[in-house]
Amino acid sequence: MSTAMNFGTKNFQPRPPDKGSFPLDHFGECKSFKEKFMKCLRDNNFENALCRNESKEYLECRMERQLMAQEPLEKLGFGDLIDGKAEAKNKF
């Protein structure tokens, strides 16, 4: 990154994350959710679209245990998943 001959090229500007940094999960409280998510990824050939439920659950776990700021799930891009859940609930 900092080698010579990079003078003319544009430098990469890292941007801070929109919602800041995740506090570290020192006690492994959400580790089981993470394992579920990783297993889902491995089973589905690392396709993210098929494992969004598990990622949503992991983030919900974090929010419950104060490891993440509370945010409505739509703001995290899970709007369609919430509707799906609500629909499933209404059906039954």
Partner 1 sequence: MGGLWHPEWRRLAFCSWRWSHPESPARAAERVQPFLRPGRNGTGRAERGLTRLGTWERPGLARDPAVQPPRRPKSTNPFTRAQEEDWRRRNKTVLTYVAAAAVGMLGASYAAVPFYRLYCQITGLGGSAVAGHASDQIENMVPVKDRIIKVTFNADVHASLQWNFRPQQTEIYVVPGETALAFYKAKNPSDKPIIGISTYNVVPFEAGQYFNKIQCFCFEEQRLNPQEEVDMPVFFYIDPEFAEDPRMVNVDLITLSYTFFEAKEGHKLSLPGYK
Exactly one of 4, 5, 24, 88 binds partner 1 (CB under 8 A); that residue is 24
Q: Is 43 helix (H, G, I), strand (E, B) or coil?
A: helix
Cα–Cα dist 33/29, whole Å:
9
Interface with partner 1, residue 32, by CB under 8 A: no
Exactly one of 4, 5, 49, 88 binds partner 1 (CB under 8 A); that residue is 49
Cα–Cα dist 51/44, whole Å:
8
* 74 Cβ contact partners less than 8 Å away, ≥ 6 residues apart: 82
Within 4-23, the residues that bind partner 1 by CB under 8 A are 9-10, 12-22
Which two tokens mark 44?
A: 């589905």
The contact set with partner 1 (CB under 8 A) reads 1, 9-10, 12-22, 24-26, 28, 31, 34, 37-38, 41, 45-49, 52, 55, 58-59, 68, 71, 74-79
